[in-house]
Structure 1
């Protein structure tokens, strides 16, 4: 037996279908027939459709496992049946005359209407069916049967993914709720080394997995970023408006990515005609695509009555009770579908993106809430007073005698009055609201990471407020868009998208690259700074992209930074590493200069004029060094870190996080800093703290302070979560750095000390022996020009 095992270990466990190589030893061939390879390895080797497989693995984790996924799919089938059956019952089987007591209203003898009186008999219901209702039921039944088959097919796939989790990843259903996606992804990378799920590469990277899961989403993000999709409309009396309903989004994906007319042969390979170099062939392809868009628009137009009816029924059953119970629901806000495309990073998974937007929700809501109309507020207060008075009287009368509810329309009046009172509260500002749009916009930017250039310093204007509301819309507007989508989507496809068919073809032709082991992906998703970097966001030598090729609004740079922080084990290419290192250098120089500025402030004659806690303004940038490079900021030896600080608070830090106890001590003598997250605190400035504690129980070991290679680092899940929040501070810093570049500030960042308001060479100090006094510094020139919007207090800004 031992001899047999030794012989078998010398053989290949599987044949490579791509190379077609065969063994020359007949004895080995004989052994290959009789020896069965390990089932686990044979099962997951050479998965044909890795895009679908990795997507299902991700969804399995996000949807909490097999039972939750199956139950959710089955209940959705049941929900569809309920909506169709209940709607049909209400249309054909209810005697509304008797329900509203119209039959007995004029009779002298009182008659109490019962439930049986209001429902038709079985024969009467069948007689009430019209040809239109029968046609709708046939279509609904066909659609439901199609979904049943799809659910059955998905259940088998769910079972396969459960087997992969249990056997390959060694993750049970009990362990799954307590594991993060980063842990699952790490195990997938280990399984690849052992079982070769992808045969084109021996080792997969985090970026490979993200590419496969987000292949089509990255294309959509790039097309929105480059304004290829015609989503902006000029609406009369409204102005510029962005329309991207769920129905239109579905049609775009069907047309471009996975439908029979899509640009892709399969989920990972673009059709060869889109790669043709011949301009004539691409024009022919654009004409063909334009005709297909026309037919798709006509199909949507033909189905619009049915879809519109379904939208009305579904929205009514889903939101009617919620609106009655919480009328303020319509006055609340949500991130719009367009906003979710504009604000998303390349290679950002759904759970990462949703968490980031959720962190920015309160600040965004506060920002838009400070813009109130005094005229509407006065009207709303009076309307609420009148409606509230009527409601109060009826409530008191009902408490005295409940028979008041039997009076005709009393309950209706009470309901309407309650809705009016609650709705008016939306237009009445909170009496404790503080008008600080620039501070709030700064806190919003810390989480959403993107904003147009002209928003900077103009957050107090109605123009910026209107543009931001397109990203963060009322839920009432969202519901109206969804209801009208069946009617508007066909028109947009026919009259807007047809004319952009050539742009779609050119975009796929120009911005598709073939990645080994991944397939065709959007070149923007590669986050190649040299090819797609924006010169306004990078150094001159880093980007060679033309205006047509460069990403807008820092999309490439922000996406690279975000992916680097959420996947710290990933080793970026050389040009990406150059960009990250340059950002690190800028941070280190700013930390040194601002720390020296702080020392000058503390030692100068105006120390008594500095408010408590303000000495560390701007010094939070030092924390970015640890979050970007894994190293603590090395301040200049001239900085006296042992001096007392105004706050006197015990340091709480790891990188830019302020809520974790215990600083990180490094063997290299590095210094850590901390400041409060802009999303968690709006009341105090960031403050530099001395490193005093020798050890941290939660934060990474001191090896992270050393310039070790990325592959040698190990990060636990707590560190990964904290590093992802560091992106808030990185985004703010990168926006500030971009603004300084645009204005010509800091041609040499070492000049920051020379431009400082409080410099020692401008403030001659008297020696103790001379007994003289310290003269006032020269304060005529200011280091930075101010925007119109920065007249607010900047102590809350980073």
Structure 2
């Protein structure tokens, strides 16, 4: 049954005014020949792909940059294959390594075989790899040519319909592009099923499949967690595994979706669930077998690409493998529903330093002692060799001296990774507070346990070492078939039930994940409902329903970690012109009202220790993204907001949180909503809305949202 919305039907007849004696009566049928430029984008069949390309065109800086990047990727693949073939077949390694013991001087041309001898008798494995690479390259070439035509159309759309030239593209935010898209809809009716497109409609079309993936990760529907002997619980999601999951579930042959916007009708019928689960299980098995057969070729490509891409970086900065990045699993776990890529990247980038400091604060004393001594010995040997080289450069001609110096330098750099900063203060709870202010989602059992090895290990799965990332990608050709055949196949029935239970048909949009509608009444959690007073818009039930047992339908419909509520507030503030549905609007209004009540009841004279205040740090992030937030920050210090707060002064200063080091602890500080920034888009998050703390500033946001906040 389609989701009820406030969509308006299109008018079937044009308005004809009353007859006039001055003007002749309009004929019953008017033949109208529209302007070709104006009618060019009328009734676009696949709006999902179209809006996605519009978004990619904006984020990737226009037609020239996009096509240059894709052409150079083709060249890069061609270079890797041909250069690897050259190294295998056209180099005389016996002469290069002087295995014959000849003392004569050898030149570079001497070790290269003649052109006719290189490929005279190529090994069978080389021929197979070349055929596979050539086929893949031709497919990529066809795709690039197709993208050229499609993105040229997008370029014309930007220049003509949106009125944005390539020169000014980088000066336009996504929010501005989105508003112009809505204007074009009014003029040309790109979507004929409704006259107006809302911000949520556009987001739902761009993020249709990603919202499903975020929901599946949130509800732990996908086999991404494994108990490995000697390692404990391990989270694994590589690019190859992600590609195969999307191929099976969304756009591949036989997937549950018959096109980009409609789920197959059989998946909506409960009596078909067993047959569909068996069919999905067979497809997963076939895809797993194909991955297993292609494993040697994919593995070879992974090794070559990683070697060419990272060898120079590792040689120059061996410690770079000790740097961290957000894992692919972490990006899905921490992502809001209806959060675009640039919004997610900005939010996670803001939390990078705090996350890095938190994990770097954990050191193993035994490992540090060993690393210090290894670094001492390696440094001493390297210093002697460097000194001898300075005295006489002929030392470098001695066999293996240069190699030894390179290895010793790498050992010194690697050992530094395991040695903690001597000026570092171990304050994990305070650092976790700063992390949470940006990443927003943490499991409940992390409360008060940020100092434990378990929490550190679980967080490192979200914020992994680059070395671990490379290891994941190198093992992906072997691990992906195993996960598909033995992890995903047994869950085929659960996947089918998930699509049936959590898919809604929205008029003008198609089938979307119900979690993406951010309906707090259906997918919200009781613990996240704000406290209300009698007569408020959001009225609780007269008698609270008992908490459902684990595994029941009520619990299955709730998003974990408050993702529904946080996504709703995030989207409402990111898109200030969006009007939420009735239930969601009531929820936001109640939060705003409760924030105003608590702000009016704040006691004066509370300590204003802002430097150790997670809220203040979160607010300071607003100033780092642009001057448009200056009025908002100034508004937080407006004495008019402190009516009833006790006479003048800054609202922040009068209600600064107690320092994290105090007895109340960090989770008392973070029990409410946190205002952070995501690339010109403030976001509200939290873990328990009954104790809303940061929502006291929501009235300030609402006062300035129309003329201050300009999301992108």
- TM-score for both structures, normalised by structure 1: 0.75
Partner-residue secondary structure (3-state), 1:735 = coil
Q: 1:489 aligns with which of 470, 476, 480?
A: 480
Partner-residue secondary structure (3-state), 1:234 = strand
The change in CA–CA distance for 1:230 and 1:287 in structure 2 (over 3 A counts) is: same
Aligned residue number for residue 89 of structure 1: 86
For residue 60 of structure 1, report the CA deviation from its aligned partner: 0.2
Aligned residue number for residue 667 of structure 2: none
Q: 2:261 aligns with which of 264, 268, 275?
A: 268
Aligned pair 1:342/2:294, yes or no?
A: no
The change in CA–CA distance for 1:237 and 1:669 in structure 2 (over 3 A counts) is: closer
Instruction: Indicate if the aligned counterparts of 1:285 and 1:505 stay in contact, CA closer than 8 A.
Output: yes
The change in CA–CA distance for 1:669 and 1:217 in structure 2 (over 3 A counts) is: same
Aligned pair 1:163/2:156, yes or no?
A: yes
Q: 1:246 aligns with which of 239, 250, 254?
A: 239
Q: May I ask how many residue pairs the two structures share in their alignment?
A: 636
Aligned residue number for residue 68 of structure 2: 71
Following the alignment from structure 1 to structure 2, what is the Cα–Cα distance between the partners of residues 314 and 616?
A: 45
For residue 443 of structure 1, report the CA deviation from its aligned partner: 0.5
Instruction: Indicate if the aligned counterparts of 1:165 and 1:171 stay in contact, CA closer than 8 A.
Output: yes
Aligned residue number for residue 251 of structure 2: 258
Q: 2:587 aligns with which of 579, 586, 591?
A: 579
Following superposition of structure 1 onto structure 2, how do residues 649-728 of structure 1 map, counting pairs within 5 Å? 654-655=631-632, 657=633, 673=650, 675=652, 726-727=682-683
The change in CA–CA distance for 1:591 and 1:667 in structure 2 (over 3 A counts) is: closer
The change in CA–CA distance for 1:494 and 1:672 in structure 2 (over 3 A counts) is: farther
For residue 28 of structure 1, report the CA deviation from its aligned partner: 6.8
Instruction: Indicate if the aligned counterparts of 2:327 and 2:463 stay in contact, CA closer than 8 A.
Output: yes
Following the alignment from structure 2 to structure 1, what is the Cα–Cα distance between the partners of residues 503 and 139?
A: 34
Following superposition of structure 1 onto structure 2, how do residues 713-752 of structure 1 map, counting pairs within 5 Å? 726-727=682-683, 730-731=684-685, 734-735=686-687, 737=689, 740=691
Give deviations 1:10-59, integer Å, cap 9, x for gaps.
Answer: xxxxxx999899x9xxx979973xx6421222101111100000000000
The change in CA–CA distance for 1:304 and 1:407 in structure 2 (over 3 A counts) is: same
Partner-residue secondary structure (3-state), 2:294 = helix
Larger gyration radius, structure 1 or structure 2: 1
Aligned pair 1:203/2:178, yes or no?
A: no
Give deviations 1:282-303, integer Å, cap 9, x for gaps.
Answer: 1111011111111111111111
Aligned pair 1:405/2:360, yes or no?
A: no
Partner-residue secondary structure (3-state), 1:546 = helix
Following the alignment from structure 2 to structure 1, what is the Cα–Cα distance between the partners of residues 619 and 130?
A: 62
Aligned pair 1:559/2:567, yes or no?
A: yes
Following the alignment from structure 1 to structure 2, what is the Cα–Cα distance between the partners of residues 458 and 521?
A: 37
Instruction: Indicate if the aligned counterparts of 1:623 and 1:674 stay in contact, CA closer than 8 A.
Output: no
Give deviations 1:523-581, integer Å, cap 9, x for gaps.
Answer: 00000000100111114856998111011000101101110111111011111122212
Following the alignment from structure 1 to structure 2, what is the Cα–Cα distance between the partners of residues 256 and 736?
A: 34
Partner-residue secondary structure (3-state), 2:119 = helix
Aligned pair 1:98/2:91, yes or no?
A: no
Instruction: Indicate if the aligned counterparts of 1:437 and 1:460 stay in contact, CA closer than 8 A.
Output: yes
Aligned pair 1:212/2:202, yes or no?
A: no
The change in CA–CA distance for 1:666 and 1:199 in structure 2 (over 3 A counts) is: farther
Following superposition of structure 1 onto structure 2, how do residues 462-473 of structure 1 map, counting pairs within 5 Å? 462-473=453-464
Partner-residue secondary structure (3-state), 2:325 = strand
The change in CA–CA distance for 1:723 and 1:91 in structure 2 (over 3 A counts) is: closer
Instruction: Indicate if the aligned counterparts of 1:653 and 1:673 stay in contact, CA closer than 8 A.
Output: no
RMSD in angstroms over aligned alpha carbons?
3.4
The change in CA–CA distance for 1:615 and 1:414 in structure 2 (over 3 A counts) is: closer
Following superposition of structure 1 onto structure 2, how do residues 419-568 of structure 1 map, counting pairs within 5 Å? 419-539=410-530, 541=539, 546-568=554-576
Structure 1 unaligned regions, length at least 5: 1-15, 602-609, 628-651, 677-681, 686-718, 750-798
Give deviations 1:378-415, integer Å, cap 9, x for gaps.
Answer: 11111001111111111122222222111110110011
Aligned residue number for residue 295 of structure 1: 286
For residue 737 of structure 1, report the CA deviation from its aligned partner: 3.6
Structure 2 unaligned regions, length at least 5: 1-8, 17-25, 532-538, 546-552, 624-628, 654-658, 663-674, 697-712
- TM-score for both structures, normalised by structure 2: 0.83
Q: Higher relative contact order at CA 8 Å, sep ≥6: structure 1 or structure 2?
A: 2
Following superposition of structure 1 onto structure 2, how do residues 632-647 of structure 1 map, counting pairs within 5 Å? none
Partner-residue secondary structure (3-state), 1:469 = helix
Instruction: Indicate if the aligned counterparts of 1:653 and 1:662 stay in contact, CA closer than 8 A.
Output: no
For residue 196 of structure 1, report the CA deviation from its aligned partner: 0.7
Following the alignment from structure 2 to structure 1, what is the Cα–Cα distance between the partners of residues 338 and 616?
A: 28
Give deviations 1:179-234, integer Å, cap 9, x for gaps.
Answer: 11001101111111111111111011000000000000000000111111111101
Following the alignment from structure 1 to structure 2, what is the Cα–Cα distance between the partners of residues 166 and 588?
A: 45
Following the alignment from structure 2 to structure 1, what is the Cα–Cα distance between the partners of residues 305 and 182?
A: 42
Give deviations 1:681-732, integer Å, cap 9, x for gaps.
Answer: x9999xxxxxxxxxxxxxxxxxxxxxxxxxxxxxxxxx997895542xx32x
Aligned residue number for residue 60 of structure 1: 57
Partner-residue secondary structure (3-state), 2:512 = strand
Instruction: Indicate if the aligned counterparts of 1:286 and 1:501 stay in contact, CA closer than 8 A.
Output: yes
Following the alignment from structure 1 to structure 2, what is the Cα–Cα distance between the partners of residues 431 and 585?
A: 48
